[in-house]
Amino acid sequence: MEGELNWMDKKTCTSIFLIPYLVQDRARALELGYINGYIRDTGRDVDYKNPVFALFKPERLSYFQDFLNKEKARSRYLVDDYDYEGYTVIVYEFPIPEDYKLFLEGRYSEMSTKYKEGVSSLIKIGNSEEPRLCWRICNKTPDVKEYWETKLGIELDKDMEYYSKPILEKETLQYDKF
């Protein structure tokens, strides 16, 4: 778990909580240049409903185009894609508005059963398979609680969430800054 959380330090809350619901094949997305997820894009003046922006820097364009075509066929929530000089952004509309609102408020444990079931698949970490971190945070599993109590040196109250609330600035794609 320590390694997964260290990796997550570099990821946005969008990448941790919303992308796993929308992009089923995490390993393939990473292989194709997935960088991070966002809820806003300063370079885009389109009013999407409950938007999730997935940023990629694809190196093998034909493989990425194949992935994008399969995503378009698979997901009715993929609503747009566009490029920024060597980067591609895939835009999804998050399909559970109530959970999107709870996400924005950092109330992960209150997210719906539908959401939790949607992120319940196991992922490969090293040589083993484990439940996704977002699922463990939403379900307040003992390993996540123990990790934060040890790291922070405090005892978590039963009403506390096990991950920080999204910070809008960090959750905003700012093309001019990369």
Q: Return per-residue pLDDT of the chain as tens, 178 residues.
A: 454 444 455 799 999 999 999 997 888 898 999 999 999 999 999 999 999 999 999 998 899 999 999 999 999 999 999 999 999 999 999 999 999 999 999 999 999 999 999 998 777 666 777 888 899 999 999 999 999 999 999 999 989 999 999 999 999 999 877 6
β-sheet bridge partners, residue 172: 40
> Tokens 């109530």 label which residue?
98
Domains of the chain: total: 1
Could you tell me how far CA 29 lies from the centroid of its own chain? 12
Q: 């929308």: which residue's tokens?
A: 22
The domain in which residue 104 lies consists of 2-177
Query: Could you give the angle at the alpha carbon of 94 between the alpha carbons of 93 and 98, nearest 5°?
Result: 135
* Other beta carbons within 10 Å of 126: 8
Cα–Cα distance between 60 and 41 in angstroms, integer?
24
Give the pLDDT of residue 27.
82
Structure pTM?
0.90
CA distances from 70 to 29, 52, 55, 115 (A): 12, 18, 17, 22
pLDDT at 121: 75
List, as one string, the DSSP characters of 85-139: TTEEEEEEE-S-HHHHHHHHHT-GGGS-HHHHHHT-SEEEETTEEEE-HHHHHHT
Number of C-beta neighbours around residue 10 at 10 A = 9
